Amino acid sequence: VTRSRAEEVEGLLRRLAPQVLAALARRHGQFDACEDAIQEALLAASRQWPDQGIPDKPRAWLTAVATRRLIEEIRADRARRAREDAAVEPEERHEPAPDEWQTAQSDDTLTLLFLCCHPALTPPSQIALTLRAVGGLTTRQIASAFLVPDATMAQRISRAKQTIKASGLTFDRPAETERAERLRAVRHVLYLVFNEGYTTTAGPELQRVELAEEAIRLTWMLHRLMPTDGETNGLLALMLLTHARRAARVSSDGMLIPLADQDRDLWDRRAIAEGVALVEQALATSPIGPYQLQAAIAAVHAEADSTDDTDWRQILSLYTLLIRLAPNPVFALNRAVAVAMADGAAAGLAELAAIEGDERLAGHHRVEAVRAHMLELAGDRARAASAYRAASRLSTSLPEQRYLESRAAAL
Amino acid sequence: MKYMLLIYDNADTRRLFFGPEGKALSEEIDALMAELTASGELIGGEALADPAQTRSIRPEDGMPVVTDGPLAETKEHFGGYLIVDCETPERATEIASRWPNARFVAMEVRPIMNVGGGQEM
């Protein structure tokens, strides 16, 4: 079996997984049992298809195998209950024709996303379940992407499914009144997956699912399901514009490279063009929102040839708007950087002094890193070096520490 | 974010765990471990043997030299650890505060370094 054949099978399975699961859950309810059944069908397919070839109707194949598995499980469950309870009521047989396929798939996939990101679930459970049920990843792949043991990730998934069952959540579209809020939750889960991928992996990690790419793939899917939703497009644009820098953000020896020093020829121009088009379209046609503004800021960076060439005044006004819309101390910190770049280091340091009292920033290494950068701009080398060292002690990332120590040493 | 919860013992804790209160303490730990397993926060953990079994390796003239016993004789010693993956440092601290040793000796909570990533500035 060639590697490309196995990859082709995996790609196909992961595209089909949410569709088959959604259809099964819509017909039978019992989301947790359906999810188990799909996983077994996917496993069977990933063993058989690379050797035996992809069946003519792969989706029908998966549906049939998963349905058979589900029925076996339901029967076993009934038999168990019958043994436990002598006075069991006769129940109707529940055996659908496996090749029946209903459309309305896009609606189904959306319903599936809403269920996996339901606010009753904890964020780690939402993330794990979304990656498995919608992303079609195995528990082992998700565990290795998050650097946790398989048993820990399996527990998060099973807890998510138990919560769905215990809370009586069903595979139904949320009411119109809840929709905006639920969609916000879906976007947030996708954002968290992207962020995890972006901040925990530097450079290519073979044998590991790339979470940032997976988040982009799922957000493209969400975008296709609701092409005119401004914030979804803003989120997708933000991911594309950020991920476009991946080849430039780490040196060959694993050193983080700051935006100012990145070789911009390495930026992915196609991803930038896609991101810019998406965010421009969203800003022109939808109510403005935090993801669109963050994407717009990323777009200003993406379109500049260098830091000197960057329109910092525009970035500053975008941050000002962003903070008004979504107050957040990390955005405020980024805004202080924009102040320093637009109006000089002294103005930036004054802005930093005004915001750093926020207790949510207490002990955050970025506060010291920003201070160090501003002091360096101001020419205060001694205090800049000590702020870089303070930032390094507060960071929990080795590549970040290495970068901050190197800045301190260069002063 | 992953944290190591460092569990400290002293000469009395082992006696405490093997004494009349031992059963209640073990049940307390079992319940907390079950909670962390169910929540998907538990990554792992181990208990260490008595510090009398320690061997220390220290440099002498730039060469490693092995001696029996811990680096320093202290009242409190490192007795074992848990690794948890929590959403907030407050949650990790809460778990450590509920471990029985927090009432008898000490616990420490320390973030675990991320070796592969980081955010460009």
pLDDT at A1: 54
Name residues 129-188 of chain A within 8 A of B (Cβ).
146-149, 152-153, 155-156, 159
pLDDT at A101: 39
Band the pLDDT of A102: cuts 50, 70, 90: very low
pLDDT at A267: 95
The mean pLDDT value of chain B amounts to 92
Q: Beginning with the edge strand found earlier in the chain, give each strand of the sheet holding B2-9 in spatial order.
A: B42-47, B77-85, B2-9, B106-111
pLDDT at B7: 97
Which residues of chain A have a CB within 8 Å of the CB of B93? none
Judged by CB atoms closer than 8 Å, whether chains meet at B40 and A256 is answered as no
Which residues of chain B have a CB within 8 Å of the CB of A199? 114, 117-119
Band the pLDDT of A108: cuts 50, 70, 90: confident
Chains A, B: CB pairs < 8 Å:
83
Question: By C-alpha distance, which of A391, A384, A303, A306 is closest to A341?
Answer: A306
Residue of A nearest to B119 (CA): A199
Q: Which range is least confidently modeled, A100-109, A400-409, B13-22?
A: A100-109
ipTM of the complex: 0.86
Band the pLDDT of B42: cuts 50, 70, 90: very high
Question: Does the pLDDT value for residue A193 go beyond 90?
Answer: yes
pLDDT at A388: 97
Count the alpha carbons within 13 Å of A84 in the hemisphere toward its beta carbon: 6
Which candidate from A155, A396, A400 shows the least CB-CB separation from B40? A155
What one-character DSSP code corresponds to residue A33? H
pLDDT at B73: 84
Q: Does A286 touch chain B (CB under 8 A)?
A: no
Which residues of chain B have a CB within 8 Å of the CB of A201? 116-117
| Predicted structure pTM score | 0.87
Residue corresponding to tokens 């070096």: A385
Per-residue pLDDT of A175-186, as tens digits, reads: 889 999 999 999
Judged by CB atoms closer than 8 Å, whether chains meet at B113 and A152 is answered as no
Q: What is the mean pLDDT of residues A347-361?
A: 95
pLDDT at A189: 96
Band the pLDDT of A171: cuts 50, 70, 90: confident
B67 three-state secondary structure: strand
Question: By C-alpha distance, which of A166, A160, A183 is closest to A111?
Answer: A183
Work out the angle at residue B86's Cα, subtended by the Cα atoms of residues B80 and B90, and round it to the nearest 5 degrees: 90
Distance CA A26, CA A250 (A): 45
pLDDT at A205: 52
Q: Which range is least confidently modeled, A235-239, A252-256, A367-371, B109-113?
A: A252-256
Per-residue pLDDT of A201-228, as tens digits, reads: 644 554 566 899 999 999 999 999 999 9
Which candidate from B38, B42, B121 shows the least CB-CB separation from A258? B121
Alpha helix (H) residue ranges in B1-121: 11-18, 22-38, 89-98, 101-104
Distance CA B57, CA B69 (A): 10
A288 three-state secondary structure: coil
Q: Does A369 touch chain B (CB under 8 A)?
A: yes
Residue of A nearest to B34 (CA): A155
